[in-house]
Structure 1
């Protein structure tokens, strides 16, 4: 089996179109990893790595209720296989990717076994999956931030800027608009579906006809390009992101937490807003846990409402 054939088989497996024999073949690749002194063939390593990157990076395994072929447990096993491959140093992914420039516009493409981490001028981060292509400006405009995902999968962790919205355009005419959040987009020209999954915050998905839906944390939208229909559902597995503050003011920290957790935080004294914080958290933590640590750093206190949606920080 060539690398290209292996990739096609993996894609059929992920698209729930593989027959039982093909499913068994994919799952046998994983089983081979548990045998001692067995080296996985290059075509299998490249194929698995190419097709599974975005799912591992965002940890957004999704089980579709209405498909009988797809098995979540099998999906998780294959994902685990990728981790094993990386751990033993088989090196199926590369951290470099071709970058072309046209004035202020940059274009990045990745090969079938490559991934790329891109940091934008506003501090936003993009994790670009294999066989993907994205175009973005070196420096964003003063009133908006726009990029184009031309092919493939990408995970976005967007810097929150209320007055400068961030928009991801796709070749199928689907646009994803955010202010500051983290989400994944899967848009292949050869596939009839576009997928958008939100990890934190809120995004609006639209096309030329209007809004297709507004997604909040842990929601997943699938758009059928042929039928022109969108469906929104809850994700079964929650993904988490890192919340890093490097010398951020308390005002900036509060703004980020309010957006990510959809909560309201007030300060009893406005002078507290300029206090600086350097710390790293995870969205896995509760807002109370994060506030407790931040307040301890500055010898402050906080209280919250019974519904855990409103908080006040005071001396």
Structure 2
């Protein structure tokens, strides 16, 4: 105990701001001097406080008034020493508890924001950096207050759609189970299965990296490894059992380069009249950002006529293949078209 702390506690006692434990402690100190605790002048208080301090430091007390019953001096000394020990121990215990509360408060200062969607509807949320997300029912997010830190880090349990504000200096990391998705600025879905057997990431626009967390708890400084790069219309599923990534295309790919008018994407025309297959495929690749491979070079000679403007990508492919008795399959993030082809322009 320092002298500064000693006087600080006495000041709190006089102002009535101390706890019951502190009050008993101060009154024990006054009892060491066999002094009552009346209201005194500032000078009188200073003199008595100095005497208490000296008694604590010297393990001594003022000479007690001789009691009516004989009480040997050594017992007075032992009682004084015991009282000082109790007082000092109580004081140390109080300040130890006080310091403990300050540490807890400091740790709590590093606060995290948590939010769960307990409704039956999707919930729109705006993050401190301007990014937005749509949180599905039963899902939960947490992140440092203000998204502070070298990276913008968010933890997700469940399913959410993200639109991330671009910041090249501070990537955005979404942790979901054993998987971390890293982006600069894009939009994508992240979904963790309820039983934690699989985690799926689907990209609507931009580019993301999806990797495995080397550490699954605490995650800001976790290392990431064994990842894949995804672009628009691509998805990846991570299996917790096999620790493997399986890439593919999303269920309904959308045009990635469509012009936007009044915040509404313009409908791109897909009208063909005796158009070579290679030109049709080139347009589909450019519009949807997917790679389409012709297994047979003879298919390059085929011509195609149709208006597929209103059809989704996979229906467009169905019509294209049906025109030449071909078929297609999705292999990872690419599409392979198989067929005999055409020997000469039709």
* Fold similarity call, TM over 0.5: no
Bigger relative contact order (CA 8 A; separation at least 6): 1
Q: TM-score, normalised by structure 1?
A: 0.43
Q: TM-score, normalised by structure 2?
A: 0.40
